[in-house]
Amino acid sequence: MLLYTSISLNVGHLIIASSVFFFALASYAVLFSAFLPLSGFWPLDILATDAHYKYVLILLIPTTFYFVIANWVGWEYYRNS
């Protein structure tokens, strides 16, 4: 039981850490790159100089979740009717 609790805590910490990392990266890509100079780190510089595709990955995540949830709700309506 203790091992299972330890693994689930580690997975929870991993989810929180990856969410914070994605939030920081998306904040830099959308908000801060317009006001800050280029950083010298090439992946961040690509995000800063891009004007269109930096929004695609950020907007793809909520769109995917909407699609998955809508499909799941539709499947549940179909199964229970």
Spans of all domains in the chain: 2-79
Other residues' Cβ atoms within 10 Å of the Cβ of residue 48:
18
Q: Which own/partner contact pairs does 8-15 have at CB distance under 8 Å and 24+ positions apart?
A: none
pTM above 0.75, yes or no: no
If you search the block for the tokens 């989810």, which residue do you land on? 15
CA angle 18, 33, 20 (to 5 degrees): 15
User: CA-to-CA distance for 48 and 43, rounded, in angstroms?
Assistant: 9
pLDDT band of residue 69 (cuts 50, 70, 90) is: very high
> What pLDDT score was predicted for residue 71?
95
| 13-68 tens-digit pLDDT | 898 999 999 888 888 888 888 888 888 888 888 888 887 777 887 788 889 999 99
